[in-house]
Structure 1
Amino acid sequence: MNFRNNVVLMLGAVGLAIALSPFSLASKPEENVSPPLVQPPVELVPARTLATYPRGYFLENIVIDVDGTIYITENKTGQIIRRTFNGEADIFSQVDVGLAGLGIDVNGTLIATGHAETGEQYIFEFAEDGTLEYELAVPEAGFLNGLALFRPGVFLIADSTSGTVWQFDRQTQQVVPWLRHDSLNPNPDMPTIPGANGIKLFEGAVYITNSGQGTVTRVPIQDDGSPGEPEVIFSGIVLDDFAFSATGNLYGTTHIFNSVVVLSPDGNHRTIATAEQGVTGSTALAFGVNESDRHSIYVVGDGGIFSASSEEDIVEPELVQLDVGELGIPQEATLDWMGRPRQVEAIETQLVQCTTAPNTENLRTTIGPRYLRYLELHLDHISYAGQLYGNGRANTPSDRLYFVQQQDPEAALELIQNSPYYRAGVYSECTVTPFTTLLGNTLDGVAWPQNAIYPRE
């Protein structure tokens, strides 16, 4: 999916006094940030408020697990709010510093970025039950913000003040620079506005929003995982978090402008939700994953903490579901830069399972050499053969499994029943079950099309 370069939504001359400072939430610095002079067309989509939260809450980020469970970070209290697909809500976990970015590994492990009021930066990992596994101080970081899964166990983290994308390895707990670039720096004329903010992977590249510079930067991923040359693909648009649809549309939150917008690869753009739909102070969004909500995005915000003209105008932040009419991208599909296995034909296999007869230990020892040689002579049909142990490897095998290829069920069963073990009485019975081989290193590929894991419609 190729984006047209240098798509500019000109910023207007009329300033809007706002306070967008996650670096110092207690103060309210004034920055002159202009709304777009050329306002995008407004095409509102159906919206539904699912939950409201206490006034003053700063809902910062959102991820959705494979079962539809929503996790939301709260910047002030350090809470991770959990909401199941059925609408049950609780506090999944809480730390003693403010939380910002949130990510989820392929195994379901949650990772969050956070910051103390004194400026220290942290990465947190949580167990399945919400227990804090560890907190990792990152003294070299400026302000850790959004994060994206880069490969299993490894995340990329946008740093909003240092012009850096960090690479974090869960296993080694090492944090190293992945990219430093001027396009990620804060705007020197608006130093309290975040630079690099949201970060996502899409079709072999990393995309990063820069709120202060009003840009979206694309960084191609090289074959070895290193960054290519960054390229600004959108400018003049203030975005916080974002997500891609399967067709390549970029859905973004505008935070201080209280809206959700869509940027298309051809440069067209439109507003699909405003404060009237509940997205006041929109900070983050994510696509649904279940059959009933795969064409929806879920949006959170801060209720206008940084955009309200007065404290009285701050509203309760909401979790809003927007029906956008197209699919998002499964997180696993964003890792396509790592390469895909080649497509192969599915192999029809028969699984033959044989039960070991009792009190046959001596018989197995006697017949064993002939049995093993029989298997060797039929390697053209037997792809795997192995043993099941009902009570641990120290005990007698309870069953043996044979994966037999290029044979119909009757022929596969006959092949094993003709073996010395069966004919001598080592096995009490053998059964056969059809088995289709779809994946395995012996296949040197996968037997399903790419669209099986990357649906586009």
Structure 2
Amino acid sequence: MTDMTERKTMSPYRPTGLRRRAATLGLAALLAAVAAAPAASATPAPTAVLATSPTHPDHAVGTRLGDVRVLAHFDRAAGQVAESIALEPGGGVVIGMIHARQVVRVAQDGAVQVLATMPLPPGGGTTTPVVGTPGVTGVARSDSGVVYFLYSSGQGGLTGIWQVRRSGEPRLVVPLPADSFPNALVIDGKRDRFLVTDSTGGRIWQAPLRGGEASVWSADPALAPNGFFGANGMKIHDGAVWAGNSDQGTIVRIPVTKDGGSGRATVRATQLEGIDDFDFTGRGTEILAAINQASKLVRVSTNGAQETLLNAEGGMQGTTAVAVQGNRAYVTNGANLAGNDPTLMLAKLRRR
């Protein structure tokens, strides 16, 4: 683990329990809220719980990992805290780098190319919600190859969805409110729209893929934060939007209605405090979850049972994202809460 001074310098974006969050971020007001705050894994009352996370998972079945290796190392001193993954054909990936405010491409051979770098906002972005530091978070790639990313700056006119242009000059496509913290970005190709989680606002935004004004798609209580970050990672799967809630330690499923609206959220997994991102393995609703706080990659079975597949001994350091492509799983480590070696790792999926 990094010491307290280093954590303050890096302004980590992930929950570590209310008391540690307060110390890490210098938010003294959070300390006063500890006694009154509900447990971080509590589920909002209006939300139905369809699955829990049994203590003893079934190890006889489920996806395993093999041939785990580091594909690329990043420069933590330069702020390259790897945060998110967008898959490209041929085995390359696009990654958002938080503190460097960059979007980079990692080729199949591990070569790293910077695609875009966002400027510091006037004043340095100290008004960025909760964290006080601007950063690039979620990334997405359209079917036509256009790369989009999220920038959270605490200022209007900069916070929102941006497009990477061939010139390297990014273009603002969808502005978002200055008090929001856009975190995960997904393209809903069926409805030609973006979906964006707002971690501090506890909601999911939607906006036309062509660009324009954003509106709230869901503000279900299951997305709400509990002192730090609520809705974080997000995927579209089986007619629904799935989102992880870092503070609540849950994965929730929100059905998409016939008109594209949002239904009522149901909790599909619990006891995942500090969850950042996740992806489906291809076995129904089996999930690989990146747990930033605990530096581990967890398999969540279809019934909610959990099993740790990789931990610190396996190279996890502040695990931030996971993306599955065929029989491969890409995993990013931001090294923002533990360690000093942010990486992109690659593993083969062995389904049984």
TM bracket (short chain): 0.7 to 0.9
- The Cα offsets for residues 9-63 of structure 1, whole Å up to 9 and x where unpaired, read as xxxxxxxx998852999x8238899899948799764310111112343111111
Equivalence for 1:299: 331
Moved more, 69-78 or 125-134: 125-134
1:86 to partner: Cα distance? 3.4
Equivalence for 1:171: 210
Match of 1:318 among 343, 346, 349: 343
Alignment of 1:94-173 (within 5 A): 94-97=117-120, 98-116=135-153, 121-128=159-166, 130-134=168-172, 136-139=174-177, 142-151=180-189, 153-173=192-212
SS of 2:313 mapped into structure 1: helix
- The Cα offsets for residues 345-367 of structure 1, whole Å up to 9 and x where unpaired, read as xxxxxxxxxxxxxxxxxxxxxxx
Query: For residues 130 and 251 of structure 1, what CA distance do their matches in structure 2 show?
Result: 33
Match of 1:244 among 280, 304, 323: 280
1:163 to partner: Cα distance? 1.9
- The Cα offsets for residues 100-144 of structure 1, whole Å up to 9 and x where unpaired, read as 111111211111111126686221111256442335431265211
CA contact (8 A) 1:214 1:235 kept: yes
SS of 1:28 mapped into structure 2: helix
Question: Sequence identity of aligned pairs in percent?
Answer: 26
CA contact (8 A) 2:155 2:179 kept: no
1:87 to partner: Cα distance? 3.1
Letter in 1 for 2:243: I
Query: For residues 118 and 21 of structure 1, what CA distance do their matches in structure 2 show?
Result: 19
CA contact (8 A) 2:71 2:109 kept: no
CA contact (8 A) 1:123 1:137 kept: yes
1:95 to partner: Cα distance? 1.1
Query: For residues 139 and 56 of structure 2, what CA distance do their matches in structure 1 show?
Result: 31
Query: For residues 146 and 210 of structure 2, what CA distance do their matches in structure 1 show?
Result: 12
Letter in 2 for 1:242: F
Alignment of 1:148-227 (within 5 A): 148-151=186-189, 153-187=192-226, 191-192=227-228, 194-227=229-262
Equivalence for 1:22: 13
CA contact (8 A) 2:72 2:111 kept: no
Match of 1:273 among 297, 310, 313: 310
Query: For residues 54 and 25 of structure 2, what CA distance do their matches in structure 1 show?
Result: 24
SS of 1:276 mapped into structure 2: helix
Letter in 2 for 1:222: T
Query: For residues 271 and 41 of structure 1, what CA distance do their matches in structure 2 show?
Result: 12
Equivalence for 2:96: 73
Letter in 2 for 1:220: P
Structure 1: stretches of 5+ with no match in the other structure = 1-16, 289-293, 309-313, 327-456
Letter in 2 for 1:241: D
Letter in 2 for 1:224: D
CA contact (8 A) 1:184 1:195 kept: yes
Equivalence for 1:374: none
TM-score (norm 1): 0.58
Query: For residues 70 and 174 of structure 1, what CA distance do their matches in structure 2 show?
Result: 28
Query: For residues 278 and 349 of structure 2, what CA distance do their matches in structure 1 show?
Result: 14
CA contact (8 A) 1:141 1:159 kept: no
Query: For residues 270 and 24 of structure 2, what CA distance do their matches in structure 1 show?
Result: 26
CA contact (8 A) 1:163 1:195 kept: yes
- The Cα offsets for residues 411-456 of structure 1, whole Å up to 9 and x where unpaired, read as xxxxxxxxxxxxxxxxxxxxxxxxxxxxxxxxxxxxxxxxxxxxxx
CA contact (8 A) 2:296 2:311 kept: yes
Letter in 1 for 2:117: Q
SS of 1:241 mapped into structure 2: strand
1:202 to partner: Cα distance? 0.5
Alignment of 1:375-414 (within 5 A): none
Alignment of 1:415-434 (within 5 A): none
SS of 1:50 mapped into structure 2: strand
Aligned: 1:259 with 2:284: no
